[in-house]
Amino acid sequence: MIQFIRSHSILAVICWALAMQHSVFAGSFANSLVDSQFVTSFGSGLVTGAPDNGGLFLGDTFDPPAHPGFITVFFSIPLFDGPGIDLRVYDVSSSPTETATISVSANGVTFTPVGGIDAINNTLDIGNQFVGPFQFVKIQNSSSQVSIDIDAVEGLNAVPEPGTVPLLITGLAMLGWLRRKKAAA
């Protein structure tokens, strides 16, 4: 009987751990670049996936930019305004003069401005400025002196994957069953 309870406890913990691994607060990186204007590539030229010290300058010429540029990235897993920081923009520099405004969209057409960042203060809390899930993030250079150099964009509050909730419920149900079983013994 003890072996039965131990094996089921382990299974319950595994279900719980898997659900937490894909929880509501998991971060994800942008999957694709869907629009850009007045950008200059450096290193890998990628702004998708994890940081790799390459990306795009948001300007058509090196500092100062003749035309400040923008990029729009897409997240395959929808993001939302959660508790605390919602977005992190990775820049390869560390200058507070490299600034950008951030807008988000659910459909990639209508964007809502949600704040600004710089190369040092590179995180943003949306703070109820956008309601509902969004998958598009637009980053616009807001400096006429320098170009912010974007390496990667990370969403810190992702909507859970479809299989996460049933897995979490199964883990919780098994833990509850084991508690009742242990209390009855």
pLDDT tens figures, 30-68: 999 999 999 999 999 999 999 999 999 999 987 889 999
Residue 21 pLDDT > 50? no
**Are 123 and 183 contained in the same domain?**
no
pLDDT band at 101 (very low <50, low <70, confident <90, very high): very high
Residue closest to 123 by CA, chosen among 91, 95, 86, 166: 86
Examine the domain organization and report whether 83 and 122 are in the same domain.
yes
Cβ within 8 Å of residue 86, ≥6 positions away: 79, 80, 124, 125, 126, 155, 156, 157
Asked if the bond preceding 166 is cis, omega within 30° of 0, the reply is no
Same domain, 166 and 119: no
Closest CA to 152 of 129, 109, 122: 122
> Alpha helix (H) ranges present in the chain?
2-21, 164-184
- 155, 185: one domain: no
Shared domain check, 178 and 154: no
Same domain, 3 and 67: no
pLDDT at res. 171: 59
pLDDT at 20: 46
Does 36 share its domain with 3? no
Q: Are residues 132 and 44 in the same domain?
A: yes
For residue 181, is pLDDT > 60?
yes
**Which residues are 99's β-sheet partners?**
118
Over residues 109-164, the pLDDT tens digits come to 999 999 999 999 999 999 999 999 999 999 999 998 999 999 999 999 887 655 55
**Domain of 55: which CATH number?**
2.60.120.260
Residue 9 belongs to what domain range?
1-23+161-185
Dihedral, CA of residue 62, residue 64, residue 67 and residue 72, to nearest 10: 60
Q: What is the pLDDT of residue 63?
A: 85
State the Cα–Cα distance between residues 77 and 157, nearest whole angstrom. Answer: 10
In this structure, the answer to whether residues 18 and 93 fall within a common structural domain is no
Predicted TM-score (pTM) of the model is 0.74
How many CB atoms within 10 Å of residue 12?
A: 19
> Which pLDDT does position 1 carry in this prediction?
47
Total domain count, the chain: 2
